[in-house]
Amino acid sequence: MFDFKDHAVLVTGAGAGIGLGIAQAFHGAGARVALGDLREPGLARAAEKLGRSERVFTHSVDVRDGKSVDAFVQAAERAIGPLTVAVANAGVYPNSPVLDMTVDEWDRVMETNLRGVFLTCQAVGRRMVAQGTPGKLITISSGAYNSGRKGAAHYCASKAGVVMFTKVLAMELGQHRINVNCIAPGLVTVDRNLNEVSDEYVKTLVATIPWGRPGSPEDIARAALFLASPFAEFITGEVLSVDGGSGTGRTYLPYSGTTRR
């Protein structure tokens, strides 16, 4: 359905999980893909999964560091050509109650989840504007942007920041025909060592999902393909929730009346 054979796509946090799923989807649709991640072993495994070819480029990047991000973007364009799509996906998912949280913990989450999105979108956006070509920027937030949970004040705040950053950037780049949209995943099943959540948490949350299951990286990837496609040409500054309906409201409540209507 989606054809990206003439596109060059950059994805951060692409060594595993959602980022890898997104990179695989674009690669499967014919795109040339640049995978960035802080973990080089993860990048090596990701490249093997995609099949090493001239359409796959990997590069270590620390999204908290502007020089590192700029180096990744420049290297990606040398390897796969001018970027037409970028997905700012890199993020961390720690847990810590506010009263126990250190400043370093807070800063690490904000620097990765929010500064990283800013730096990635800024670097790619500058290249797109300089080249005078339309493009698509996609940020990855979370259902946590408007639904808090205990132990994740830093995470929730960072993801709320991503949403508002996306909206403002969409205002600024509209004149350049650069779409900027956000995907807000719900619970997504990835490698257990990356999930960092308990079985009890997963079981409780799944019970509130009308669709009856967690999401998968493929679910998020399909949303990214849509937002990067011509079908979404007139969509910008939006948040697309991909959560099986968990964000619809208090799904755990029974019917309020005695008779179903």
pLDDT tens for each residue of 55-104: 999 999 999 999 999 999 999 999 999 999 999 999 999 999 999 999 99
Q: Summarize pLDDT for 173-229 with one digit per residue, the tens.
A: 999 999 999 999 999 988 644 456 788 888 898 999 999 999 999 999 999 999 999
* Residue reference for tokens 């359409």: 55
Rounded Cα distance, 134 and 85, in Å = 9
Q: Sign (positive/negative) of CA torsion 173, 238, 88, 45?
A: negative
Kind of pairing between the strands at 56-60 and 85-88: unpaired
CA-based nearest residue to 194, from 57, 68, 13: 13
- The one catalytic residue in 93, 155, 252, 255 is 155
Domain extent listing, the chain:
8-242
* Domain 8-242 fold: Rossmann fold (3.40.50)
pTM of the model: 0.94
Kind of pairing between the strands at 85-88 and 135-140: parallel
Whether 155 sits among the annotated catalytic residues: the reply is yes
CA dihedral 255, 189, 199, 140 (to 10 degrees): -80
